[in-house]
Structure 1
Amino acid sequence: MRVCLLTDKPGHPLLAATAALLTGAGHRVTFLDPDGGPGDSWERIAADGPAEVFLLKAHTPAALALARRLEAHGARVVNSAAATELCQDRHRIAGTAEAGALPMPPTRTLPTLSEALPGAERQRYPVMVKSRHSRRADLVARVDGPDALRELAAAWPDEPVVLQEFVPNSGWDHKLWVISGEVFSAVRPTPVGGPPRDAHPTPLVRDLPSGWVATALRAGEVFGLDVYGVDLLDREGEPVVVDVNAFPGVRGPEGAPGALAALALRRP
């Protein structure tokens, strides 16, 4: 079987380990960067011969366009272009989560951050301000008052944003990664504020409350994803979804490369 990974980071630990497992089992693995390399991506795929499955790790417009074209020609793409694109838009994530009855903080969308300024004094604080369109080096910030909001708007005046209710928490994100229904977990400091002083051990999935695992699995159904991450915060013992990522960079959990290799080889 031939598997093609669409990515600009072939050395990523998850992808490299998955490729090693597949090639060790006699399968052919190729890497293609939709945004780089000589010539047109479609022509490079055609010249190299068709693959049975394409793993869509890249999320750029060029990668999404290539994935849509592959799907139109009957190729199996994981995750789908539509599901991947959905997870790049935090406005659509919030709407999809609400429609799917997933617990997520109330979220509102503004065309630009500067449009939040007229209501700065009436805004409830603290509030999370995030770029509407998820990408590398995007905006994710906790804002604690009107002055901080004005300062942030001066730096990002034209940025489309979502304003999300701040969830009081321990300072740790619980990251649940799911690959074809198999759940892996990790704990990371929240991306805003200083990390807590005490180390926090990564919980085993079996030790997580059943509701947390069920929420992560439910997110895959709601968003139409096979490989994804769910960031959860603990709000009075209940999980709250604060982000959903298509094909994230899963680092650390044992068994993740094997799960991804099995997914690639799974027949539709």
Structure 2
Amino acid sequence: MRVGLITGDPGHPVLAAAAELLVRRGCRVEAVPIGDGGVAAGALADVYLLKARTPQALAVAAELERCGAVVVNSAAATELCQDRVRMASLARGAGLPFAATVAAGKLAELASPAYPFVVKSRHSRRHDLVALVDGPARLRDLAERWPQEEVVTQPYLPGNGWDQKLWVVDGQVFAARRRSELAVAVGEVEAAPEWVPSARRAALALRVGEVFGLEVYGVDLLDGAAEPVIVDVNAFPGVRGRPGAPEALAGLALRAARERGRGRTAGSV
């Protein structure tokens, strides 16, 4: 069986560990060139894992799908998670407790908001803007540094400085607390406490996958007044340091190929 990796970093820990497991099962694992060369239909792998989220990677994934390839996650589902306005609209329309997310145009044009609030890049990507705005001075500072950035705003939910991160790989839920980006911005860094999500939070994470059509994804939660609030969804996140995640990812690759009739059964991982 052949597995293609659509990524700019084949050495990423979870991908590299999953690839090693697949190779041990007799699979051939190859990185897919991300460029303008097109895709040869006769050279399709049995399944592709779409880790990169750049426009070029999404174009490659979409072309592979048009040629009949199996891509996890799909190009369409991955692209949807890049637009925080579309993401929030889909989630709230499906009854998910997603934070109220308002398209605010360019950051330099944001006028007279109610403080405090959270501002984020509308288009999710590496090193995008995520910041707490607690007053006019902070807003001016951000606007000077990101004047042309298309942004969204979300209500600020006071917390304990720790984000609740849930990652799902083929229906298996992994979780950890991570220091909030808002807390890190003011220099507060310490070891993450161990955390096991409640059954309610795990079920919520699984429901996100059903709504968004994702098989490998992350869900960021904060505590709301009455229920957990989803503040972000990420397609194919890193899932670093979670025991069992590489095995789940390798198993997903095998299952996806097998169920769609392209790969030979290679056993479970």
Asked if Structure 1 and Structure 2 have the same fold, meaning a TM-score greater than 0.5 normalized by the shorter chain, the answer is yes
Aligned-partner residue type, residue 167 of structure 2: W
After superposition, residues 114-125 of structure 1 pair within 5 angstroms as 114-117=108-111, 120=112, 123-125=113-115
Aligned-partner residue type, residue 157 of structure 2: V
CA contact 1:171–1:195 (8 Å) conserved in 2: no
Residue 40 of structure 1: SS of its match in structure 2? coil
**Structure 2: how far apart are the matches of 1:236 and 1:199?**
26
CA contact 1:170–1:234 (8 Å) conserved in 2: no
Q: How far does residue 137 in structure 1 lie from its aligned partner after superposition? A: 1.6
After superposition, residues 198-237 of structure 1 pair within 5 angstroms as 199-204=191-196, 208-236=197-225
Alignment pair present for 1:162 and 2:152? yes
Q: How far does residue 199 in structure 1 lie from its aligned partner after superposition? A: 4.1
More off after superposition, 68-77 vs 189-198: 189-198
Aligned-partner residue type, residue 227 of structure 1: V
Q: How far does residue 237 in structure 1 lie from its aligned partner after superposition? A: 6.6
**Structure 1: how far apart are the matches of 2:68 and 2:198?**
40
Residue 110 of structure 2: SS of its match in structure 1? helix
Q: How far does residue 254 in structure 1 lie from its aligned partner after superposition? A: 0.7
Q: How far does residue 115 in structure 1 lie from its aligned partner after superposition? A: 2.1
Aligned-partner residue type, residue 69 of structure 1: E
**Structure 1: how far apart are the matches of 2:171 and 2:238?**
17
Residue 182 of structure 2: SS of its match in structure 1? coil
Unmatched 5+ residue regions in structure 2? 261-269
**Structure 1: how far apart are the matches of 2:9 and 2:74?**
19
Residue 215 of structure 1: SS of its match in structure 2? helix
**What's the C-alpha RMSD, in Å, of the aligned pairs?**
1.7
Residue 192 of structure 1: SS of its match in structure 2? helix
Unmatched 5+ residue regions in structure 1? none
Alignment pair present for 1:112 and 2:106? yes
Alignment pair present for 1:243 and 2:235? no
Higher relative contact order (CA 8 A, sep 6+): 2
Q: How far does residue 172 in structure 1 lie from its aligned partner after superposition? A: 0.3
| 1:189 alignment partner in structure 2 | 179
CA contact 1:189–1:195 (8 Å) conserved in 2: no
Give me the identity figure in percent. 55
More off after superposition, 26-35 vs 54-63: 26-35
CA contact 1:22–1:29 (8 Å) conserved in 2: yes
Aligned-partner residue type, residue 148 of structure 2: D
Alignment pair present for 1:54 and 2:43? no
CA contact 2:179–2:189 (8 Å) conserved in 1: no
CA contact 2:167–2:239 (8 Å) conserved in 1: yes
**Structure 1: how far apart are the matches of 2:146 and 2:188?**
28
